[in-house]
Amino acid sequence: MRRFSINLKMIDVSIIIISYNTKDLTVQCIKSILEDTSGLSKEIIVIDNGSVDGSVETIRNYRVKLIENKENLGFAKANNQGIKVAKGKYILLLNSDTKIKKGAVMKLIDFANINADAGVVGCRLINPDSTPQASVFRLPTIFRAIQQYWFGNKNLLDKYTPDVDHPVEVESLVMAAFLITPIALKKVGVLDERYFMYFEDLDYCRRVRHLGLKMYYLPAAEIVHHHGASGEKTGKSSEAWKRLIPSSKIYHGTLKHNLFNFILWSGQKWKNLLNLHN
């Protein structure tokens, strides 16, 4: 009986990119991955969410696995399409408006390999002019909302950049460059597809924490991020609010969402009143 040898060697990392009318930036992102000569086996999976700027035709010219959606299915659902066909040990969710710096992906994976409790590892995001960009969240809580909006303790709910030169544990990471470890994928699973846009990163990190895994920020791994390029393509700011409110209700629950809104509204009113009397 003839025997066939099967190569069961797993790819090191599947890099998943969601494309939505960001043709030039997406191509730049793909090129930065292909030009990285780090000794990783990798695949690039691009999910196009119904772009009308010629993205699909251009992306076909590159060595990627392309999934074409006829409409915008949202960030979470599109990423899950990529995760479901990925062959990599690690999953790197990467925004289309990013450019990886040499060795960044290798550094993320090397760190994850020696930290068994890592669920997600994030990098140091930088602006195109090399200035730091906020890369980390604190999980939003009612207590923190009261502290920030009623008592003036600033930045408790804002994205920030840890002022460190070494890896640190954080509560949540921006999903612009988001390495999911095998144990997190096994225990937590994929993204929650109820989120069309916004809160996906907070939700995933919260679920990771609940299962006893950790989020780490790795400043040695740097990725350039043209912040908001894809989001700008989704429409006007009023449309963004229409996406934000349902996502907030899913994340917090309707009662807590309404309480957050009241704290924010009343805090702003109180601040304006104080300013009138100063």
Dihedral sign of CA atoms 32, 89, 126, 246 in order: positive
- 145 vs 172: CA distance, rounded Å: 17
Contact 47, 77 (CB under 8 A): no
- Degrees (nearest 5) of the Cα angle 176, 190, 216? 50
270 lies in some domain: yes
| Containing structural domain, residue 239 | 11-276
4 lies in some domain: no
6 lies in some domain: no
- pLDDT (0 to 100) of residue 262: 83
Q: What is the pLDDT along the chain (278 residues), one digit of tens a residue?
A: 344 334 456 899 999 999 999 999 999 999 999 998 678 999 999 999 999 999 999 999 999 999 999 999 999 999 999 999 999 999 999 999 999 999 999 999 999 999 999 999 999 999 999 999 999 999 888 888 888 888 777 777 788 999 999 999 999 999 999 999 999 999 999 999 999 989 999 999 999 999 999 999 999 999 999 976 555 554 445 556 567 888 888 888 889 888 878 887 787 645 554 444 44
CA nearest 199: which of 140, 143, 117? 140
1 lies in some domain: no
98 lies in some domain: yes
Output the domain CATH number for residue 254.
Answer: 3.90.550.10
Helix (H), strand (E) at residue 239? helix 237-252
- 191 vs 89: CA distance, rounded Å: 17
164 lies in some domain: yes
- pLDDT (0 to 100) of residue 243: 72
Q: Which residues are CB-contacts of 59 (< 8 A; sequence separation ≥ 6)?
A: 19, 23, 26, 27, 30, 46, 48, 66
Number of domains in the chain: 1
pTM of the model: 0.87
201 lies in some domain: yes
- pLDDT (0 to 100) of residue 21: 95
